[in-house]
Amino acid sequence: MASKRKNMILLSEMVKTDFKLRYQGSVLGYLWAVLRPLLMFAILYVVFAKILRFGGDVPHYPVYLLVGTVLWNFFTECTGMGIHAIEGRGDLIRKLSFPKYIVVVSATSTAVINMLINMVVVTVFALINGVTPSLTWLLVIPLLIELYLLALGISLLLGAIDVKFRDIGSIWEVLMQAMFYAVPIIYPISMVLETSALAAKILLLNPIAQVIQDVRYCLITTETTTSWELLGVKLGLVPIILCVILFILAVWYFRRKAPYFAEEV
């Protein structure tokens, strides 16, 4: 019991330290937690909504785009920080004996804090844009948990591999740049459906796409195409099952490699 309390205190202190260091020295400080996704949203909105005329048939498209941007930023930030967490805390790991997963959880918690702040901004923006509040908004919470478990699982798995093979982080960054266009963030899934129903179904098997579409459905408009609607109940469970399997495998692999981290970092 005492060791669990000690671990929780260590985790809490590391989360506070990581969050403070993230914005230390910047003029705007913690405001960057909100400004970064808003600036990205503004650029995407001008280019794709105003110039290329995307989303004309999507209700509340600005909110639709903002939700996708915020959730994508959270996923990339969470995995980016989590994968390098063990490597970055090498000195601490060599000096102290504690559960190594704390390092990854603390690193990803900064992204969680930023995401929660951004979801408040999304909610305010949605209300200003005329979105009607409903009880389905509460369903966003388990969806965000699902996305975090996916990001944490990837962080644990690739973070453990990154300790020995330092190219993993760079490879992941390239994959994320490619995946940005394979997830319906900018474009509505209805555009893909018009071209190929099969392609749309394959896209929605991706847990990231599934979460983004489900959040849009619960928060913005029921006209959003979800994996449940397009794939049916059985196939609609596939993204969630993939998240669970990946997380379990990641925890198993991380625990197996953790005793050797001090020697390899």
- Domain housing 108: 2-264
Which pTM was predicted? 0.88
- Measuring CA to CA, how many Å separate 90 from each of 6, 51, 96, 107, 114? 20, 47, 10, 13, 25
Which position has the higher pLDDT, 2 or 139? 139
What's the pLDDT tens digit per position in 111-164?
A: 888 888 888 888 888 888 888 888 999 999 999 999 999 999 999 999 999 888
Separation of alpha carbons 39 and 54, rounded Å: 18
- Measuring CA to CA, how many Å separate 158 from each of 144, 238, 246, 249? 21, 22, 11, 11
Number of domains in the chain: 1
What's the pLDDT tens digit per position in 187-238?
A: 888 888 888 888 889 999 999 999 999 999 999 888 888 888 888 888 889 9
Which position has the higher pLDDT, 228 or 36? 228
Return the SS3 of 43. helix
